[in-house]
Structure 1
Amino acid sequence: MKAFNRTFAAVLIIIAAVFAGTNLYLNKIQGEEGRSYRVEAERAASDIAAAGLEQVDMSRYPTLVSIVGLTEADGQREQEFFEGDNEDYLIRKIDGIYYRFSYQADDRVYQKHIIKIVNLSLAAISVIVFAVLIFIRVRLVGPFYQLQEVPYELAKGNLTAPQKEGRNQFFGRFLWGVDLLRENLEQQKEERMEMQKEKKTLILSLSHDIKTPLSAIKLYAKALSKNLYDNPDRQREIADNINAKADQIEGFVTQIIQASRDDFLKLSVEDGEIYVSQIVHKIEGYYKEKLEFLKIGFQIDKYTDCIVKGDGDRAVEVLQNIMENAVKYGDGHWIRITFDDEENCRLITVTNSGCTLPDSEMPHIFDSFWRGSNTGSSGGSGLGLYICRQLMQKMGGEIFAVSENGEMKVTVVFTKV
């Protein structure tokens, strides 16, 4: 806001300087042009002195209306001569003869009129500039200034304060999006806390349940170590009991593992319909310039548009994850998107050159937290393709991948409407 205020003040100073400079310049011109008749009268007087009145070319003196001489023989015309018929004139005596130089004096009025018009025009422009600056300050800079702390507060985890809604036509959707982001983050935070609570409760419960069979196993083991059971049948019974308790513990451990592998991301999908072209246009917009900058060839084959079932945003997210993997784990030569139809489905395949993933690892690429041997030092959580499969299955589709001739092909399957 301070930077804008400084800019506003600078604009005011510049406008004031333009006003002052323009008026000084116009007044200077007016002063010079307002005395032009004197200059022309002196030039005409010089011509008369040199060659006589008859030789004067009046076209050379645009501000002079007429030149009239008064000789001593014209004494009866003296009063009329000096009154000048209400004209503006100058009197000059040349070689003993008086000459009246009548001139046009309306140019000063005209020039004042021009100055007035220029000043009014500058004033109108200034008002427009002020109005635009005030509009920018009130409708753009002001609201945006109020939002400058929002990302910082969200980054700190302060998700409680809702963003005020407004009718600002420029930031209305942005404000709505920020508040929606805050609500989603807050909801995810609550879900994570609830999930953690449920998992801790489950682990504590299972841990408590494990203690009972574990105590029995320890008791049986201690009894066997002290030869308290001499009867072989009794020993076999104890061994069976130990095995049963071990199976019970194994069951509890299986529950813990299963709980840890549940849908911890809680991915939500809205059922809907979307044109394939909408998905493709967004992917092209996201990656065309990026891949040009990375010098990776990018090709999208021709296709016929159709409507498919699914969540538009989630469908784009799936293809984004696949594209990111193609950029990250391909050899950087090219990426291609192709289309196909099978029965009532539209298939979209992302192919990248330079697949180095062994065939033995292909069945695991959609597992959660799994990372292939070709990842190297590239960062990642191993959740990208896992999330893609979960989303596609929730949208009634599927995803699969194959490696052929050093190329990775990942295909998403959408159901047509």
Structure 2
Amino acid sequence: MSTFRKLSAAAIVLFLILAAVLDIFLLRSAGRDSGAYRVEAKRLTDRIEETGSTDISDFPHLTGVFTGGDLYRSDEHYLIIEARGETYRVEYTVGSRKGILIAANLIMSAIFLLLLGLLYFIRKHIVVPFGRLNKVPQELARGNLAVPIPEEKSRFFGKFTWGVNLLREKIEDDRQKELSMQRDKKLLLLSLSHDIKTPLSAIKLNAKALARGLYKDEEKRRSAAESINSRADEIEQFVSEITKAASEDFMNFEVTEGEVFLSSIISRLSARYAPQLAVSGTEFRVDSYDDCLLACDPDRLAECLQNLVENAIKYGDGREIGLSFDKMDGCQLITVSNTGCSLEEKELPQIFESFHRGTNADKVQGNGLGLFICKRLMSLMGGEVYAEIKEERFCITLVIRLA
């Protein structure tokens, strides 16, 4: 936007300079006569020589012919000619170019207005809409699929925003497929690790029996039993490693530490959801708060709050979603709550686990990762998140360090 303003200012200044140069040129040209009166004076001299007539009706630039008296006194432009032995004063008019100058300035003014109109049109229909969209690809690349994409009816960006929305839906669909594959993989690994432990126990028992010399060739059988037992221990170790790997979180997150004012985060959240909730008839209540500087990744904190509000929209009854604030032990607390909580108290410890979905999520699409992602992000930012149920309201609180 700033680059466009600079280019626009440069174009306007350049145009004004060119217009001033043209005016100067026209003014200087207006001060020089064309010399047409001299040609007519020569033709008049020839006529007087031939016929003696001083009629000037055929010479538009000549205004009078005088002889005798004081030839050199006149308030008009004149020149002296000689014909048939007499001296004449021939008066003439110098053509004015003020009309040309005025016309040129009017044309330049019209072009200037067209230039301003063109720059305004480009700014309104191209630069400003593009400015509203330039952060969308970055947010999509970061995995924030809840980033708002402003609707654009402009013929320049209407298809573009439609295409970006299709891209976001495709990314969301691919993410769902990937998460489904990851979940299946995780469940498979856990199942295999559990199933392998049973035959491993039998192998170890047989190996111990062999090691006790229950066979005739005791030396060989003991050696074989020890080998089986050793291999079984190795397999058991591998199984433990598989179990450990399957139990670890498979999603990686990047957090960039920074600082942001609380008011900035709340303004972004309100701008995103207030119009949407107003249309659906849901009251979006934001309690009063004291502005402060938070130590966090601003984009990741905004993503956490977006996830919480999205959950409130999905699982609430649509009557009210609220934001409340508090301070405690050098931390800022932001609580997102919604009416119509149908989750049971006993489920609260599990809601932050990956792929966990509560009993109230039967008819709501999701993958059980929203709160899991919030917890991971808050942990990486040195904060915390916890949930509670108060008077049939589901409340989730983010704890953010003060800068």
Instruction: Give me the TM-score of the superposition, normalised by structure 1.
Output: 0.49
Residue 314 of structure 1: how far off its partner (Å):
0.7
Residue 388 of structure 1: how far off its partner (Å):
0.3
2:285 match: secondary structure? strand
Change over 3 Å in CA distance of 1:378–1:278 after alignment to 2: same
Change over 3 Å in CA distance of 1:239–1:281 after alignment to 2: farther
Moved more, 318-327 or 402-411: 402-411
Change over 3 Å in CA distance of 1:251–1:129 after alignment to 2: farther
Q: Equivalents in 2 of 1:244, 1:354: separation in Å?
A: 58
Which has the larger share of helix?
A: 1
Does the 8 Å contact 1:216/1:245 carry over to 2?
Answer: no
1:374 match: secondary structure? helix
Does the 8 Å contact 2:282/2:318 carry over to 1?
Answer: yes
Q: Equivalents in 2 of 1:359, 1:216: separation in Å?
A: 40
Change over 3 Å in CA distance of 1:219–1:260 after alignment to 2: closer
Residue 184 of structure 1: how far off its partner (Å):
5.8
Residue 276 of structure 1: how far off its partner (Å):
1.1
1:340 match: secondary structure? strand
Q: Within 5 Å, which residues of 2 pair with 1:15-414?
A: 123-124=107-108, 127-128=111-112, 130-131=114-115, 177=135, 180=138, 229=214, 249=235, 251-414=237-400
Residue 318 of structure 1: how far off its partner (Å):
0.6
Unpaired segments ≥5 residues, structure 1: 1-112, 145-167
Does the 8 Å contact 1:354/1:406 carry over to 2?
Answer: yes
Specify the code of the residue in structure 2 equivalent to 1:272.
G
Unpaired segments ≥5 residues, structure 2: 1-97, 144-170
Change over 3 Å in CA distance of 1:407–1:243 after alignment to 2: farther
Specify the code of the residue in structure 2 equivalent to 1:131.
L
Q: Equivalents in 1 of 2:327, 2:394: separation in Å?
A: 20
Q: Equivalents in 1 of 2:370, 2:336: separation in Å?
A: 15
Instruction: Give me the TM-score of the superposition, normalised by structure 2.
Output: 0.51
Change over 3 Å in CA distance of 1:300–1:242 after alignment to 2: farther
Specify the code of the residue in structure 1 equivalent to 2:329.
E
Residue 131 of structure 1: how far off its partner (Å):
3.4
Identity %: 34
Residue 265 of structure 1: how far off its partner (Å):
2.3
Change over 3 Å in CA distance of 1:137–1:364 after alignment to 2: same
Q: Equivalents in 2 of 1:217, 1:243: separation in Å?
A: 10
Residue 391 of structure 1: how far off its partner (Å):
0.6
Change over 3 Å in CA distance of 1:330–1:244 after alignment to 2: farther
1:96-116 per-residue CA deviation (whole Å, 9 max, x = no partner) reads xxxxxxxxxxxxxxxxx99x9
2:360 match: secondary structure? coil
Q: Equivalents in 2 of 1:353, 1:216: separation in Å?
A: 52
How large is the Cα RMSD of the aligned pairs? 5.1
Residue 214 of structure 1: how far off its partner (Å):
6.6
Q: Equivalents in 1 of 2:280, 2:131: separation in Å?
A: 35
Change over 3 Å in CA distance of 1:259–1:352 after alignment to 2: same
